[in-house]
Chains A and B, each alone.
Chain A
Amino acid sequence: MLSTTAQSQLCRLRPIPALKPRPLTTTSSSLLTDQSPPSTSPPPPPSQILTLRRSLLSRQVTAVQIAESYLARLRLTEPHLNSFLHVSDSVVREAQSIDDRISRDEDVGPLAGVLVGVKDNMCTADMPSTGGSRILEGYRPPFDATAVRKVRELGGIVVGKTNLDEFGMGSTTEGSAYKVTANPWDVSRVPGGSSGGSAAAVSARQCMVALGSDTGGSVRQPASFCGVVGLKPTYGRVSRYGLMAYASSLDVIGCFGSSVADTAILLNAISGHDRRDATSSKREVPDFISHFTASNTLEDKPLEGMRVGLICETLGSGVDSGVVSVINAAASHMEELGCIVKEVSLPSFSLGLPAYYILASSESSSNLSRYDGVRYGSQAVADELSSLYGVSRAEGFGSEVKRRILMGTYALSAGYYDAYYKRAQQVRTIIQKSFKAALDENDILISPAAPSAAYKIGEKKNDPLAMYAGDIMTVNVNLAGLPALVLPSGFVDGGPFSLPVGLQMIGAAFDEEKLLKVGHIFEQTLRGRRFVPPIIEDDNTC
């Protein structure tokens, strides 16, 4: 199975110090963990968070033991993956304080001891936060992003800051100013982007869950490429405070997990209104996992009557045939679960990509104006004001960021505004309406998360248009502000093993609950697939 040189090198690194949990003394009452199925088929992914919690509270393991085992795996895999820009040096200390609380029988939060990766465009008070940009090299914010603060308040431990395309602008994570992250399924391939570091870290179990951000697909496409669950919540569901803005009207903080349950638990933790973000919603946040059905109690057709619309525009030309078959198989699987799957057409679908690139670039050209070298970040040596700005920004930004600033500045310029920005906003309204209509007819919509599986590092680096085209599956959802869940659902040939492909499920605004419920059933019933990358396959703690 491990045929390439890189993979064989990895083999030599093994064994990873493995944590052997003692067998449970009591019968688990949890609905959510895997009960080994009678067949030889691999089990559905367990919830790492719930397993940890049960083990911690029953004193079978300590948070420090867990943290150390993850850190050990991180140290072994990181040289090959480069998922992290910064690894926290206080993980064990924080784990210890959780163990102390448990030993004193104090309450611990629902994320106690959970190791969380945080995309580096989110502010963390005690760690560098660079946004993957040279212009913020060494910058340490004085505050935690709201999502990060909530994670910490619930007991979560931030493992480190994950790599990304500079300020979230890119689809490969090659746009980072610092390093190129590799895909754990094939280290010669990209993990996707821009949240590639978070996706790779969860995929390689360097952390249990991770926060990413999704402006045009930056959570969902890397989730698909890395074989993990990725959730882009409804715009407004999660506070953006502390997320370095790329395109404010599209940016959403999202979640990565190795199971739907973990993703849902993380979403529970970070959702809700924030008085520091005027665009965050005041809607009540439901408990996203309370309605999950245990896999061993599933009825024959647990999704009976669920109306699923397969977006036909997403399976046309330009989409890898392997991807199309995975999605068709997923649709068949949903039919077996009782869903009524029909093709739906979104005529405005193809307009999404140009509209997205105009709006996102326009907003980014404005959002990135604050990086001027005056107050923070790298400042060029200059003897007059205009060169202070010019040189600081010329040296601080990478080429993709500059390209988008230029496009956005152009689109907002007098005389062009109506033709570009305003027109794109009109397209956005049309797209919102067409999604609304499709979701009135259907409970959820499905599509691929990307036209292909992970491609080679460097393959699209010098072809921005090809890279932009890869966002076709995801950008419409951001323009419409809707929630979408990406689930690993199959493989295509490629790499030494094979490459995972994700299924995208799109729901109505603020209906993450339905997406997660359906996603959980889909995941628990998808037999014969195990989305653990070869890089850690022999590690029996995963």
Chain B
Amino acid sequence: MASLLCRGILTYPPLLNYAALLRRKSHVFYCTMSTTEAQTATQGSQSTQIKISPHRKKKGLDDVLKDYEAIIGIETHVQLSTLTKAFCSCPYNYGSQPNTNICPVCMGLPGALPVVNSKVIECAVKLGLALNCKLNLKSKFDRKQYFYPDLPKGYQISQFDVPIAYGGHIDLDLPVEFGGGHRRFGITRVHMEEDAGKLLHSGNGSYSQVDLNRAGVPLLEIVSEPDMRNGIEAAEYAAEVQRLVRYLGVSNGNMQEGSLRCDVNISIRPIGQVKFGTKVEIKNLNSFSSVNRAIDFEIARQALLLSEGQDDQIVQETRLWEEGSQKTVTMRKKEGLSDYRYFPEPDLPGVTLTKEYVDSIRNSLPELPEMKRRRYEELGLSMQDVLFLANDVNVAEFFDETIAKGADVKLAANWIMGDIVAYLKNEKLSIDEIKLTPQELAELIASIKGGTISGKIGKEILFELVAKGGTVKGMIEEKDLVQIADPAEIEKMVDKVLLDNPKQLEQYRGGKTKLQGYFAGQVMKASKGKANPGLLNKILLKKLNAKS
């Protein structure tokens, strides 16, 4: 079978159009015009070069941008982390040897038939509900038809006119450093479909090979309303989708691995104009920051063209974001609308959801990011803290469990966002991989607050708990770390220190009061760091200043 799959296929590399127009540098756009640059064979006579007249050049980009508004919508593909593929029982593991997770069904062998993995429907319903969508209790699968070597059947099983979920919205809070603010973006629809395989191109480009491991892996496509206006909003939308799928546990949401893919549709128009501008699609966005930067680049590119009266240079096309050069380039121009000849998938019965099924899923939904953020806000946390804690589902769960054990909210937040996260970063771990339990963190916070141990000792214990585990109580006992808060005991130690240092005592009483610190240090040392610092200082001061 493997030999069948390793046939070489000759493909043209994507027709790339390297028209360099703008480059962004430290949040400032500027033109890098060069008429000699960026001509490729494929461009032919239809060059997308812009000639910017000298007086225009003087007008700043910001002046140009303020006259236009961008209309941005995003199509997100979420790869589901189900145990098996959408329509067969093959597992999918990212990074497996090519063509090791395949079977007759996902290879599209003659006679093979798809059977829906019910987990895919469950994930779709979960995400649909989480996106505040309405559900189509009766939906169906359709075939989207086109030829490409990574598409073994010559069609993709998808959903066309009746998606499983539609008409929802997503709420998010913009980061404080970008001005903050709450946003609600509309969700047009969520539908189920299968992924295609991957083409592996030979080094010299003379042939390609097909890896079908990914073929048939379940995807949910989320289509947003064109509600976003700039790169930050779009990037935050994508980040919120990632948060949602991770909270729901339906996907790992990893953009680098392609488990979360965003295609951006963008058009711009002069402010006040009702008619939409020409829509351009941007692909190859592998991180939230590339979503952000690609959009801002594209807005600037189109705004400049419009301001120069070169509207005809903005064409309906798909552009690729080039991370290296930080710009978008033409991938393919659309010759009218492609006709996918959708029709209902005859190999699969319709998808019917019962009200009971939907309700049971609704009742099993976890607390979602938006609800969490609102709750954290009500707990009195700052927006910065709220966003930080709610960002990662594991961190949020850790925090929630810690405060459920009675820990002080602000202290718990500080410990987690401070020392614990620093440790995680250092060790490249996630919070669910450390030995410290929320129970013990709560115990630690309580022990400090209650005066059993000092904050300093608390910190030391924390690092041991994180790395080795164990309990706060056990560690305090084992190391005899209980704070000494008995005045008589401290007084004894103070007396001993004063007695052992007659010279310093004389100097102090002679006016060198700075020596108080020295005495305090000596007492603390004698107490092995366990003396209650407040009590120690109070007693020490009294003794030092006592008329002897």
Residues of A at under 8 Å CB distance from B? Answer: 122-123, 129, 131, 136, 139, 141-143, 145, 240-245, 247-249, 275-279, 362-363, 365-366, 368-372, 374-376, 379, 382-385, 388-389, 409, 412-414, 417, 421
Contact = CB atoms under 8 A, between A and B. Distances in A.
5 contacts: A141-B111, A142-B104, A241-B111, A369-B154, A376-B110
B278 to A, nearest CB: 21
B238 interface: no
Contacts of A412: 145, 341-343
A276 B112 CA distance: 8
A334 to B, nearest CB: 36
B154 A370 contact: yes
B465 interface: no
Contacts of B152: 370, 374-375
A409 B110 contact: no
Contact of B108 (A275, A278, A375): A375
A141 B115 CA distance: 20
Nearest to B11: A385
B108 A414 contact: no
B107 interface: yes
Contact of A414 (B10, B111, B147, B339): B339
Contacts of A278: 113-116, 347-349
Interface in B197-213: 210
B339 A244 contact: no
A126 B18 CA distance: 53
Given A129-B111, A375-B7, 16 more contacts: A142-B1, A142-B104, A245-B113, A249-B346, A365-B341, A366-B145, A366-B154, A369-B154, A370-B110, A375-B109, A375-B210, A376-B109, A412-B341, A413-B339, A414-B337, A421-B343
A446 B460 CA distance: 91
Given A366-B154, A384-B12, A143 B104 contact: yes
A417 B143 CA distance: 14
Nearest to B348: A278
Nearest to B115: A278
A409 B5 CA distance: 28
Given A241-B113, A277-B115, A375 B12 contact: no
Given A278-B349, A384-B10, A375 B107 contact: yes
Given A369-B147, A382-B10, A384-B12, A374 B347 contact: no
Which 3 residue pairs are nearest across A and B when measured between Cβ atoms? A369-B154, A248-B346, A249-B346
B210 A245 contact: no
Contacts of A388: 9-10
Contacts of B185: none
Interface centre among B9, B145, B210, B343 (most CB of A within 10 A): B343
Interface centre among B7, B12, B348 (most CB of A within 10 A): B7
B329 to A, nearest CB: 22
Name B's interface SS.
loop
A417 B342 CA distance: 9
B348 A369 contact: no
Contacts of B113: 240-241, 245, 276-279
Nearest to A393: B147
A371 B147 CA distance: 10
B155 interface: yes
B346 A275 contact: no
A52 B253 CA distance: 62
A248 B104 contact: no
Contacts of B149: 372, 374, 385
B346 A363 contact: yes
Contact of A275 (B10, B115, B145): B115
Interface of B: 1, 4-5, 7, 9-12, 104, 107-116, 143, 145, 147, 149, 152-155, 210, 337, 339, 341-343, 346-349
Contact of A241 (B7, B108, B112, B341): B112
A122 B111 contact: yes
B4 A372 contact: no
Nearest to A390: B147
A242 B115 contact: no
A363 B114 CA distance: 15
A91 B9 CA distance: 40
Nearest to A278: B115
Contacts of A245: 110-111, 113, 347
A369 B114 contact: no
Contacts of A375: 4-5, 7, 107-109, 152, 210
Nearest to A412: B341
Contacts of A244: 110-111
A499 B111 CA distance: 35
B412 to A, nearest CB: 50
Nearest to B206: A383
A52 to B, nearest CB: 29
Nearest to B349: A278
B10 A142 contact: no
A362 B110 contact: no
Contacts of B12: 384-385
Contacts of B104: 141-143
B111 A385 contact: no
Contacts of B343: 362-363, 366, 412, 417, 421
A129 B111 CA distance: 10
Interface centre among A122, A278, A371, A382 (most CB of B within 10 A): A278
Contacts of B5: 375
Nearest to B116: A278
A539 B238 CA distance: 77
A374 B113 CA distance: 19
Nearest to B141: A278
A123 B111 contact: yes
A188 B368 CA distance: 74
A366 B143 contact: yes
Nearest to A122: B111
B210 A374 contact: yes
A75 to B, nearest CB: 29
A242 B113 CA distance: 8
A279 B116 CA distance: 11
Contacts of B1: 142
A363 to B, nearest CB: 6
Contacts of B346: 247-249, 279, 363
A412 B143 CA distance: 11
Contacts of B115: 275-278
Interface centre among A136, A240, A249, A376 (most CB of B within 10 A): A376
Contacts of B155: 366, 369
A237 to B, nearest CB: 15
A110 to B, nearest CB: 25
A389 B339 contact: no
A141 B109 contact: yes
Nearest to A236: B349
Contact of A141 (B9, B110, B342, B348): B110
Contacts of B153: 369-370
A142 B109 contact: yes
B147 A248 contact: no
Nearest to A248: B346
Nearest to A167: B110
